[in-house]
Chain A
Amino acid sequence: MANENSSSPTRGADGRIQVPGSDMHPDRKKTLRDYLKGQTAGSDDISTANEFPIDGASDRDISNANPDGTPVGPDIIQQAQPHFSLNNEARKIFNDISSGAFFDVNPDTGNQIQTIAERTGIDDEPGLKNDQKFGHQAGTETYVQTVSEQVSSVLLSNRFSPPQVADETQLEFEQRNQNTIDNQKYFGDPSLTNQETRRKMAKLGVESAIAASGFIGRDPVDIEKEGLSGIWAQTFDTFNISDLANIGNGNYGIDNNVGDRLRDGTRRISEKAVLPTREWLERDSEIEVDLKYIDSEGRPSENGEIGDKENHAYTVMNSMISQFIQEELFTNRQYINGLNFMAATFIQNILLAAIFDALLALELAVQKEVRQNLRSQYDNSPVQMARGKARGNYVPLSDLVGGNSSKAGDIMELFGLPNVKDLFNGPALVEFILNFMGINKPIQAKTNLVVAGFKLGDFISFVPSYLIGSLQTTISALKDPMSAGFFFNLGRQIARKSALEAAPSPQGGALEYIRYFFDLRDQSGFRFFVTMVNLGDNAIGQFFAKWENYGGPAILNETKIAWGASSMSPASVTATPSMFLIPKSFRNFSQEIESGVVDAEGNFVSGRSLNGTGDTDQFFNPEGNDSRIDGATAALLEEKLNSEYMPFYIKDMRTNEIISFHAFLDTYSDGFSATYSGITGMGRIEPAHIYESSQRSIGISFTMIAFSEEDMDMLYWKLNKLVTLMYPQFSKGTQLIGPDQKKFYMPFSQIPTASPMVRIRIGDILTNNFSKASAARMLGVGYDEGPKIVTVDATQTRSGNLQSLIPGGGDSNKAIMQRRENFVKSLTPTVDPFVGPMTLSMQTNVNFVSQGDIVRIRMNNTKKRTGKIITRQAGLVPATIKPTLGIGIPNNVDVNSESKSTNVGLSTYSYTPDLFRIIGFEAKPTTVGEGDDKQEIIDYSNIKVWLAFFSQGTTTRNGRAVDTGDYASPTRVNTIEKLYKKSRNKPDGLCFWVPMTDIMGIEHATSPDPEALKFVQENTIVKAFENNAGEGMAGFLDNLQLDWQLNTLMWDTTPGRRAPQGCKVTLGFKPIHDITPGLDADGFNRAPVYKVGNLSRSIHKNGNLNLKTDSPGAQ
């Protein structure tokens, strides 16, 4: 380095740096920044005005392009800029300043240390901008230097540009200084002399300037003469389809018009690319170094080698620059290239997927047994499999050996001899293919791919898996256009090593095919294919698993409800909506004084919609003189917020306004304290504590950050709203009548009225602890002497009605159907929309059967007639649907007889029936009518009754329990065992449905007593809550601190927004529980404050307290 002799500057006795020569002029004592700022402003004179003023404000065209489109050279730029011109006083001043204060001096001489120019000895060579020295002597007339020259010299002296001895060749230099040159790619040519090296450096600067200037490339070539140009030429060439005349037997030949459009496109692409052209560089006679670079068409220089490191560096640089100058993100070259190569990969691989599908399909088409075997693996009926009972790879025993000689198969297993069929059966074949390809199993893609009447698509299909996987990947990749360059290169690598190579000739026989397929596996394109298939397969599998195991779209509806709508919106990352009140009086006021805050339509001028929709913040505009947002609207918004990922909002109870936050929760503390009074008594030293009161105190701090101007607006709007929560609501004041009989309110007569009560909600951890259930408990529901909501009827009172739904002697079908219709019409869906597959959402309004009733059902021993049990998922074995065999009342038992017994021979069998609880009803919605009359109605004619197991029946013979007969069959035992197990079939573990006609009678019927229900639903506690409802915890803020995070957060500097772009808010909160926590008289938790988890939440379950008391059945 040049300053290898450096040491600290010379300092005087006062410790100040001694500057050789005279003291600086006072003007020169200005800071360098002030000085340059003043100088670079330039004048209005075109010859001296600065082309690139520091503040960026220039009303003149600052293009550095010549009329012919080529960029102007650096000389012109220098002359146009005063601080760059050679005879400028400012430069001398700068050099004066810099000559002493900013550079190290030699302690012996007091002068600046040796310069590069001095060391290299070529300082007097004219013409090169980098051939100057810097330092103390640079301030003299002889060595005047511009600022840019000095900067250039720093470039030359950095580690990439080690000084060389004059006339030392690069080779000699490298040998002398191997370590420092190792990383230097630019000077890779050992034949270059020092001077040439410097010219290269000079040219590098020029090229960078051109690249940054947005140079417009040369005109597109004539497509008729030279073929396709630019990006498409490159693309077509890559895939060897550049012979356009022959593409598609000439059908794809490009006519003149198309050619024009292509040219236009190419030209536009070229115009938007930031690339130096060789034409321009080569026309500059002063710079003769033969550089390698990418030309305006995106091709490497003819003098360069493809893959050359320099080319690569240019490509990377240009790609980086081009990302920032594109007007349209989706038109840049890298993006289009990325699409092309991903498309090419797609075409090749989707056909490869089809080949593997065809391979299996063809084999399965000719082998009926193999097809059947594949099917039997997925059949629900029990099939005895070879090698034990495991499904999977093994054939059904009957298939393996045929007929009834099943033992032969067992013997073969015993010897461990594989049967040919065993190896070549359907599932094994599929698995072997998957193993061969290296693909995870199972393939979950389902299509309607049918082979010889066999729906192969149920079991395996590569095409959809690849399709989904690759599309997901491509779209995910390309929706980030900034990474287009990466995917361009990736796609190119894959597409060039195409999976679908030239096919072997069928005449070459099996060997060629075998070689082809085995070679295939080693290609990188094939590995990409496998990855995409696995990805797609997983995606499909997850989709179906979610669909099947979690209730299809219903669960999605529950987790995300669009504002004011019931359609689902799975993307849950949205702005959380708040709602603020803009009362009528303010709108009137604003319009009267024409403040422009509210426009002619009454919209609050904020860029936000008034009573708007969507996921953004809302301004609520009541029609009347309401000073509150109505409860229903606020509740609707709370419902919406409940479906957010993590609800966090504050509701002002005075106005029902809701302030919700997208914020970072920093701290959250929650503490309880109890106060006791101590009483000391005779003989006791310690006071006895007597409970007085409890208090809960909550601390919350969170950080809000604005990411946009809109955010900034709303952030401060919300902060202002937060401040109002520390102050009361005022009254209107005292009304007076002025001289002209005009009414007005006396200023400062307003007095505080409503206290700022709020409800704060944070997830499920900070919520209200109210529930109708807990409120009902406070009324004494559940105590022997308390109100009774539900009446338990004897069976007989209602079984008659139920029986009327079952065909009996003498009934006409029409009459039965009519009665059934009446029954089902009495069912009311309690959730809308009504969706399958299982909806526990209906209630009867008349005295038939209701949710909660305990019923007996008919026993079924055939698969078709009965209801179905959904067995639980065990490990990898998915949940399956089984018939409910063997449970219920045997068919030969007279269910209406008192004894419930039957005589068989000399024995008398007595039965206690299995009992089941009704947990819901299900009916399919069907579409009727067409066009405008089209509507969905619930098809009640085929209603299913969902049951959960209640109790197991018993059988006795002559008074003694027996284990024979219908009530002890293996199927029954099996079914009962399953019924006891838990499954994912919420809400009550394992359950199943039966047709309504299978219900033989009601053991216990429950129905709410309307009067009692009304009492517990509409008492003062509930009403008080409903008037002030909200999901959050009620209470008062007693502390609000705002920390503007000065060393962390950015400030907005635009006028009117000169404030931090965020802040940290700390709140102190004193909650008031809706139901004071504690134990009830019987020692049970009155109302858990943390409604988290199934156990704690279950206490708050409302059950039939949610029933409407005004429904017909409740009257």
Chain B
Amino acid sequence: MTQERPVSDKKTNEKKFKSFEEKILDQFPEDFKPDYKPQDFDAVNDTAQEIIAKTGVKEIFKKMMIEESDKKGFDIFWDALVEKNAEKFHQLREGLKDDELRRELLKKMIEAGKYGKRK
């Protein structure tokens, strides 16, 4: 099909009146796309900080805030909480690296899971 005049996706006029829903959507970050994909990670060797950083979720959360002070507060909150949880994570994972320990754990899990999915 021929097209006689150049057209583009860009809207030429901003809407003067916006519905409530549009106002909400306007406050969403422009680059927040649904086709976000996680990066590769190494569950065995990466640190908790690295795994979480690779998900990129912190930035997504921050984009959903408006106030700079909220963003700063969130930054601190997030990093501190990651740090706090990382400690548990690393300790837990270190234990799992013990073959004997892990094997015992897996046996119990198999025992618990052999009758089907837990409800």
Contact = CB atoms under 8 A, between A and B. Distances in A.
Nearest to B28: A479
A18 B97 CA distance: 94
A240 B117 CA distance: 35
B73 A329 contact: no
A340 interface: yes
B38 A232 contact: no
A764 to B, nearest CB: 20
A495 to B, nearest CB: 9
Given A471-B57, A506-B95, A363 B69 contact: no
B89 to A, nearest CB: 4
A432 B116 CA distance: 8
A449 interface: yes
Contacts of B32: 475
Contacts of B88: 351, 500-503
Interface size class of A (residues with CB under 8 A): 35 or more
A624 B56 CA distance: 54
A247 B12 contact: no
A431 B5 CA distance: 58
B77 A232 contact: yes
A636 B4 CA distance: 10
Contact of A343 (B78, B84, B89): B78
Interface stretch (A557-565, A738-746, A853-861): A557-565
B65 A336 contact: yes
B99 to A, nearest CB: 6
Interface in B28-80: 28, 32, 36, 38, 40-44, 46, 48, 51-52, 55, 57-58, 60-61, 64-70, 72-74, 76-80
A463 B117 contact: no
Nearest to B114: A432
A268 B67 contact: yes
A506 B100 CA distance: 11
Contact of A447 (B1, B41, B52): B41
Contacts of A328: 27, 66
Interface string B88-119: 11011111111111111110111011111111
A351 B86 contact: yes
Of B67, B68, B76, most A-chain CB atoms within 10 Å: B76
Given A503-B89, A506-B98, A613-B9, A467 B77 contact: no
A432 B113 contact: yes
A433 B79 contact: no
Contacts of A339: 61, 64-65, 74
Contacts of B95: 503-506, 513
Given A612-B12, A632-B3, A463 B41 contact: yes
Of B46, B51, B64, most A-chain CB atoms within 10 Å: B64
Interface string B1-35: 11111011111110111010001110110001000
A436 B43 contact: no
A265 B69 contact: yes
Contact of B3 (A231, A252, A500, A564): A564
Contacts of A480: 24
A735 to B, nearest CB: 31
Of B3, B46, B48, B117, most A-chain CB atoms within 10 Å: B117
A116 interface: no
A613 B3 CA distance: 13
B48 to A, nearest CB: 5
Contacts of B5: 611, 633
A366 interface: yes
B7 A613 contact: yes
Contacts of B84: 239-241
B76 A500 contact: no
B104 A510 contact: yes
Given A339-B64, A358-B44, A632-B1, A565 B9 contact: yes
Contact of A362 (B68, B82, B102): B102
Contacts of B67: 265, 268, 331
Interface in A187-242: 231-232, 235-236, 239-241
A349 B53 CA distance: 14
B58 to A, nearest CB: 8
B89 A355 contact: yes
A117 interface: no
A554 to B, nearest CB: 17
A362 B104 CA distance: 13
Contact of A506 (B72, B91, B103, B113): B91
A347 B52 CA distance: 7
A567 interface: yes
Given A248-B80, A612-B12, A636-B3, A506 B40 contact: no
Of A342, A343, A428, most B-chain CB atoms within 10 Å: A343
A573 to B, nearest CB: 11
Nearest to B37: A464
B60 A471 contact: yes
A636 B69 CA distance: 49
A449 B40 contact: yes
Interface in A471-490: 471, 475, 478-481
Contacts of A500: 85, 88-89, 92
A762 interface: no
B17 A562 contact: no
B117 to A, nearest CB: 5
B101 A506 contact: yes
A342 B3 CA distance: 48
Given A329-B23, A609-B12, A357 B43 contact: yes
Nearest to A514: B108
B117 A563 contact: no
Contacts of B106: 359, 363, 429, 432-433
A331 B69 CA distance: 11
Interface of B: 1-5, 7-13, 15-17, 19, 23-25, 27-28, 32, 36, 38, 40-44, 46, 48, 51-52, 55, 57-58, 60-61, 64-70, 72-74, 76-89, 91-106, 108-110, 112-119
19 contacts: A232-B73, A239-B81, A240-B84, A347-B82, A351-B86, A355-B43, A362-B44, A435-B118, A438-B119, A447-B40, A467-B38, A471-B36, A501-B88, A513-B95, A565-B7, A607-B15, A613-B8, A630-B4, A710-B16
**7 closest pairs, A vs B, by CB?**
A265-B69, A435-B113, A564-B7, A510-B104, A438-B118, A357-B43, A506-B95
